[in-house]
């Protein structure tokens, strides 16, 4: 189960909710476009689901307007064993990249020698979903906005 921790840390959050409106200052122009500041779209609750090599992962990422985040992760292996993780930290958007710095990894402070970060170059498909690429590790992600009470 410890093998899953790095994958859980590198996974970014989850976006896109039909229950949450776009942020203030955003004018929706169509199902695939918007006018305004992309950073104002980020606060909210986001979902990312993935499956690879028999392992299913579900991540709920809450990006706060105060630039803090909470991430809940559930990993189910091919035999049905389940592991849950909970992480916290701070986030920022630099105009191109969504960057997260972890301050708590499964309830514990991370090692100062190996402080975990997750950085994804993002682009919005709509105000309710975005895609990201981690150019260092080659990971591609897709987030969609969900209701704030969404559970793992």
What domains sit in the chain, N to C, each tagged with a CATH number?
A: 4-145 (2.40.128)
Count of CB atoms situated within 10 Å of the CB of 45: 22
Note the pLDDT of residue 38: 85
pTM listed for this prediction: 0.76
Task: Render pLDDT for 65-122 as a digit per residue (tens, 0 to 9).
Answer: 999 999 999 999 999 999 999 999 999 999 999 999 999 999 999 988 888 999 999 9
Tokens of 80: 């049905």
CA 12 – CA 30 distance, rounded (Å): 26
**Average pLDDT over the chain, rounded to an integer:** 83
């Amino acid at each position: 189960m410890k093998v899953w921790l790095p994958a859980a840390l590198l996974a970014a959050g989850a976006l896109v909710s039909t229950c949450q409106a776009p942020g203030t200052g955003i004018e929706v122009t169509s199902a695939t476009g918007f006018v305004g500041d992309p950073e104002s779209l980020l606060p909210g609750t986001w979902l990312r689901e993935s499956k690879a090599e028999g392992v299913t992962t579900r991540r709920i990422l809450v990006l706060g307007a105060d630039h803090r985040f909470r991430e809940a992760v559930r990993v189910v292996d091919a035999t049905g064993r389940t592991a849950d993780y909970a992480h916290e930290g701070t986030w920022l958007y630099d105009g191109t990249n969504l960057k997260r710095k972890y301050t708590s990894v499964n309830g514990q402070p991370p090692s100062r020698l190996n402080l975990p970060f997750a950085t994804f170059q993002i682009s919005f498909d709509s105000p309710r979903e975005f895609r990201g690429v981690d150019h260092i590790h080659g990971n591609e992600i897709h987030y969609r906005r969900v209701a704030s009470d969404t559970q793992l």
